[in-house]
Amino acid sequence: MIGGKTKLLALIGDPVGHSLSPAMHNASFAADGLDFVYVALKVGADDLPVAVRGAAALGLRGFNVTMPHKRAMVPLVDSLDEGARISGAVNTVVIEDGKLRGFNTDGPGMIEACGEAGVGLAGRGVVLLGAGGAAASIAGAFCDEGIGELHIVNRNPEHAGALADKLHEAGKKVEIEVHPTGALDGTVRAPIVVNATPLGMSDDDPLPLPLEYLDGKTALVDAVYRPGRETALVRQARERGATVVTGQRMLLYQGVLAQRLWTGRRPNVEVMDRALS
């Protein structure tokens, strides 16, 4: 039961009505008997700075950040973890003693999802589609897992090059090559393909890469999440025998990691998973 000692958590974004994060986190709190509650708060872009100050003033333990505020959160926190610095995006905030610490759990969450699916990363090549915040967080985490080489493919090669520079500046020792999307003609290949573009969020979206990249020797990692359904890319990958890691699994595990930051303990993953399903 919610009372005067209940610790408050939130999701901040616009829109937030579709989000399953409240159900996921509150199910875990109830299962473990933790006195926390998680709510979704619609916050417009112009109101973000005052909302963040208000969260700290009201004594929230922390909050998640979703679109379109992940990048705008960066200058509003007191410190950033490496994932947030590399990606230029914050998806989790912890509030302690009035200070706001910003994290990005997308990349580490995808590592957990890959491990669950049996997709090993050490020493293997990766084709990464996209160079935005999600792509950067995943790239940094994959580099930390010891991948052999990283091919960043983006329609704007300058953005891909900027991401490669960030990774090198952060001390990542992986061999990195940058390619335009036209390189997806079979020239650039690797056993692991990651879609970190927005393609797949809409029914009308084209596939982000040719079908010949999807086969039984490939692991397809799709960061796109669509509530209640799989993306066309995931469906095609399954049909062609590829190992698949879906955006839903990344959503689950980034939430697991966020909750651990707030509570100091590993949450009830099974209950969180059922809430998402």
Is 132 known as a binding-site position? yes
Give the per-residue pLDDT at 216: 96
Output the pTM of the full model.
0.93
**Residue 225 among known ligand-binding residues:** yes
- Beta strands across the sheet bearing 99-103: 36-42, 7-13, 62-65, 92-96, 99-103, 79-80
Residue 96, annotated ligand binder?
A: no
The model's pLDDT over 59-99, given as tens digits with 9 standing for 90+, comes to 999 999 999 999 999 999 999 999 999 999 999 999 999 99
Which of the following is catalytic: 5, 7, 42, 70?
Answer: 70
User: Which residues lie below 8 Å from residue 51, measured CB to CB, with a gap of 6+?
Assistant: 12, 41, 43
Q: Is 70 a catalytic residue?
A: yes
- State residue 186's pLDDT score: 86
Asked whether 103 and 116 are in contact (CB, 8 A), the reply is no
- Does 21 count as an annotated binding residue? yes
| pLDDT level of residue 18 (50, 70, 90 thresholds) | confident
Residue 76 pLDDT: 98
Residue 259: CB atoms within 10 Å: 29
Kindly state the tokens that stand for 101: 């610490």
Of the chain, the end-to-end C-alpha distance in Å amounts to 25
Token pair for residue 153?
Answer: 């493919």
pLDDT tens for each residue of 191-238: 999 999 999 999 999 999 999 999 999 999 999 988 888 999 999 999
Position 190 pLDDT exceeds 90: yes
* Domains of the chain, each with CATH number or no CATH: 7-104+251-276 (3.40.50.10860), 107-245 (3.40.50.720)
Average pLDDT over residues 32-44: 97
